[in-house]
Amino acid sequence: MVEEGLTLEYTPTWVVASVCTVIVAISLVAERLLHYTGKYLKKKNQKPLFQALQKIKEELMLLGFISLLLAVFQSRIEKLCISENLAKEWLPCKLTDASSASTTTHFQTLFTSFFPGRLLAEATTTSTDYCAEMGGKVPVLSPTALHHLHIFIFVLAVVHVTFCALTILFGGVKIRLWKHWEDSISKKENDPEEVLKTNFTQVQDHDFIRNRFLGIGKDSALSGWVHSFFKQFYGSVTKTDYLTMRLGFIMTHCRGNPQFNFHKYMIRTLEADFRKVVGISWYLWLFVVIFLVLNVSGRHAYFWISFIPFILLLAVGTKLEHVIIQLAHEVAEKHVAIAGDLVVQPSDNHFWFHRPRIVLLLIHFILFQNSFELAFFFWIWVQYGFDSCMMGEIGYIIPRLVIGAFIQFVCSYSTLPLYVIVTQMGSSYKKAIFEEHIQEGLVGWARKAKKNKGLRKASNGSTTTTTTTTPGSTTHASSQMNPKETTPMAIQMSEASAMEEGNAGEIVAATLNDGHS
């Protein structure tokens, strides 16, 4: 039996104090950095980004809790025993591979040089002896394997948050390049001559129709999908596309405000969606568990699974481009000439299952799965070495890295900007259509209206009960209460769904109606 290390009883006090000082100092620096970052975002009125930062804090807290569980229950996990034959099944590496031991020792030293000390207790032979006494069994998970699993979970979360931030950052840079298109529209709308001019648009001669309308029939439907597939790689959104979709959104959801800043609305939407993308949901952790089960020697599961985000990315980009083609077809098939500008009609019917939000879920999964692939690669490289049996053959490694880089680039450069603008072509708008102070005011007003309605109902019920012997007075009381109870929009806006989706015109109308009442 290997002799265990010294306990704190026989460790110099200055050593214990020094180690605690370093750990606490690093923790406080990280906590203060996150704190001041949050204060800066609040100062700049970047509430969506502040909420994303809070989401990152939640992920860090989850990692800390996982670390705590692994440390506290390590001794119990070590004493979970299984038969030796069962322990030899479904292995990532064959037992005959002798190279793993040397490479593991070398790179274990390299990795621990960056992470001083052990996150979990040092491996001992106590668990092996304990299971051997149980009838020739072996531990279900050795302390070393538990330590490596702990490191992998940490690396996965850090890589996912980093890659999501990079995707949003680079995608946001491209979206901000569209700002000069928005500025050009504002100048045109502020020009009196342009406003008073009456235009008649020949639909077939419009740039949007010429670039997106491919004819009628089965052949055009097939060519439309093929065109959409290749269009996502070059000029995914042109100026004509932007101007047409912007006008369609404004005429559908905020007709009374033709100078609505569509570009700022998209930026607010992107920031709000970032908070949802940066998190790791339960179904993503479930995917990690399934992958770890399938990572058996000889199957190259890590290679084949890398095609899942690749295929999904191409499918999402193709679908978003095809939505633009559908918008063009609707107008071109119904009109020859239009008085005024060309206006498309947003509709949820263009999206999968009539739900534009499904696209965000798919992008979330794509980013996480790609992060998982690259995190797994770098973790094996650092922990076990490039020649490890878990790494696989070079013919599987290179395509995997190429696919990962391709996904990261295309998602940032094409898919994310496409998602931000095309998903606005649904039947509903997002709550980011209002600026933050307006959102808070509307929610507060809605809650107050709902509370007042409840009080009026209670008051009306008590009045009816006490005046049942005088029908005339009861009728009079009811007639006074009915006009003030017509605030259905206020009640709906107190719910989260009413702020997520709806019609801007209805909200404004309901606000004016309530004020009139």
**Is residue 167 a contact partner of residue 258, using CB atoms and an 8 Å limit?**
no
For residues 68 and 348, what is the distance between their CA atoms, to the nearest angstrom?
Answer: 45
**Is residue 114 a contact partner of residue 68, using CB atoms and an 8 Å limit?**
no
pLDDT for 21 equals: 92
pLDDT for 489 equals: 40
Structure token digits, residue 220 = 């055009």
Structure token digits, residue 414 = 């094409």
**Minimal CA–CA distance to 272: which of 46, 106, 510?**
46
pTM exceeding the 0.85 threshold for the entire prediction = no
CB atoms near residue 431 (< 10 Å):
20
Q: What is residue 467's three-state secondary structure?
A: coil
What residues contact residue 102 under an 8 Å CB cut-off, 6+ apart?
Answer: none
Q: Using CB atoms within 10 Å of the CB of residue 395, give its burial: 0 to 12 exposed, 13 to 18 middle, 19+ buried.
A: exposed
pLDDT for 462 equals: 63
Q: How many CA atoms lie within 13 A of 134 on its CB side?
A: 16
pLDDT for 191 equals: 61
Strand partners of residue 337:
202
**Is residue 419 a contact partner of residue 174, using CB atoms and an 8 Å limit?**
no
Structure token digits, residue 142 = 């050795």
CA 150 to chain centre: 24
pLDDT for 198 equals: 60
Angle of CA points 78, 80, 86, to nearest 5°: 115
Q: Where are the alpha helices (DSSP H) in 95-178?
A: 99-114, 126-132, 143-176
pLDDT tens for the chain, 517 residues long, are 344 557 777 788 888 899 899 989 988 898 888 888 888 888 877 776 777 777 778 777 887 788 788 878 887 887 888 888 888 888 888 777 544 444 444 444 444 444 444 444 444 456 677 777 777 788 888 888 888 888 888 888 788 888 887 887 888 888 888 888 888 887 776 666 655 566 777 778 788 888 887 666 666 778 889 888 998 888 888 888 998 899 899 888 888 787 888 888 888 888 878 877 877 788 888 888 888 888 887 778 888 888 999 999 999 999 999 999 999 888 888 877 777 788 888 889 989 998 988 998 999 899 888 888 888 888 888 888 888 888 878 888 888 889 988 998 888 888 888 998 999 888 887 777 766 656 667 677 777 888 787 777 777 766 555 544 444 444 343 333 343 333 444 433 444 444 444 444 444 444 433 434 3
For residues 4 and 143, what is the distance between their CA atoms, to the nearest angstrom?
Answer: 14
Strands 337-339 and 138-139, sheet pairing: unpaired
pLDDT for 436 equals: 62
Q: Where are the alpha helices (DSSP H) in 177-281?
A: 179-189, 192-196, 207-212, 218-231, 239-253, 262-277
**Minimal CA–CA distance to 117: which of 28, 15, 13?**
15
For residues 463 and 457, what is the distance between their CA atoms, to the nearest angstrom?
Answer: 10
CB atoms near residue 237 (< 10 Å):
23
pLDDT for 5 equals: 59
pLDDT for 165 equals: 79
* CA distances in angstroms from 169 to 41, 319, 359, 411, listed in the order given: 15, 23, 19, 11
